[in-house]
Structure 1
Amino acid sequence: MQVINTVGRRKTAVARIYLTPGKGEMTVNGRKSSDYFPTEVLQIILNQPFGLVNGDGKFDVKVNVRGGGISGQAEAVRMAISRALCEVDAANRPPLKKEGFLTRDSRMVERKKYGRAKARKRFQFSKR
């Protein structure tokens, strides 16, 4: 089996991954995933697709991720891994789809408008 390359996006974070058969090692931007995503919650997010399709320890993942914050990056990586697992075996698609890992979360920060304090908040109004 060759290298599988997929992309995942969340907010402004973009994750490009390279999935190969291996021992379950994951590197993110040249560092171990546990160093790049230090909290346990983020580690769980990264490994959710593998746990769902019984792929723990079967694949090595090399990740390049940029943009956004740490949480958005973790969810972008999750989406990219899910897409790659669908390419590995089409039978993986239904459980991943049901869990929502293949759906692009398009919510973004609304831009600030001129004449306003923030995107929607107005400046303080004074009648007198």
Structure 2
Amino acid sequence: MVDTIQYATGKKKCGIARAWIEPGQGTIQINSRTLEDYFPRLTHQIQVQTPFEVTKTEGQFNVKATLSGGGISGQAGALRHAIAKALALHTSSLRDPLKKQGLLTRDSRVKERKKYGQKGARAKFQYSKR
């Protein structure tokens, strides 16, 4: 399985990421744009590169990804999840450090739905005594 392209999908909130990784110089291309162009905020860039830092493989893999749905933070989390899953598929020895950091687990927290008879998911309509 070494020296092959690996594909994985990742999700967070409403964001969906499809990522392909292959051995290379460490370029990250998202929807035909660079990482810095797609995620101008540094925190999102760091979040996306977390799987490489945990496994000490910075600059060893090229990433090509397509992102859809959700917002910026959801997409960054989804891409991190997809890259971690692809790394684990590429080299089985990388699975253990990724699992210990919780990068292979999908974050199941999603927005709670609004209930009928209420103002929101938890908030009730204002009560009036008189």
TM-score interval for Structure 1 and Structure 2 normalised by the shorter chain: over 0.9
Taking structure 1 as the reference length, what is the TM-score of the superposition?
A: 0.96
Q: Structure 2: which 5+ residue stretches go unaligned?
A: none
What is the number of residues matched between the two proteins?
128
Question: Following the alignment from structure 1 to structure 2, what is the Cα–Cα distance between the partners of residues 89 and 19?
Answer: 12
Aligned residue identity for 2:47: I
Query: What CA deviation, in whole Å up to 9, does each residue of 1:24-56 have, x standing for no partner?
Result: 111111111111111111111011111111211
Question: Following the alignment from structure 2 to structure 1, what is the Cα–Cα distance between the partners of residues 100 and 91?
Answer: 16
Q: Structure 1: which 5+ residue stretches go unaligned?
A: none
**What value does the CA root-mean-square deviation take over the aligned residues?**
0.9
Question: Following the alignment from structure 1 to structure 2, what is the Cα–Cα distance between the partners of residues 4 and 89?
Answer: 10
Matching residue within 67, 70, 87 for 1:68: 70
Aligned residue identity for 1:18: W
Aligned residue identity for 1:112: K
In the other structure, the counterpart of 2:119 is 117
Question: Following the alignment from structure 1 to structure 2, what is the Cα–Cα distance between the partners of residues 124 and 54?
Answer: 54
Q: State the identity %.
A: 47
Shift of 1:69: 1.3
Please say if residues 4 and 90 of structure 2, whose CA atoms lie closer than 8 Å, have aligned partners that are also in contact.
no
Taking structure 2 as the reference length, what is the TM-score of the superposition?
A: 0.94
Query: What CA deviation, in whole Å up to 9, does each residue of 1:68-121 have, x standing for no partner?
Result: 111111111111111111111111011110100001111110111122111111
Which structure 2 residues correspond to residues 17-28 of structure 1 after superposition, within 5 A? 17-28=19-30
Divergent runs of 4+, >4 A: none
Question: Following the alignment from structure 1 to structure 2, what is the Cα–Cα distance between the partners of residues 57 and 21?
Answer: 9
Which structure 2 residues correspond to residues 39-54 of structure 1 after superposition, within 5 A? 39-54=41-56
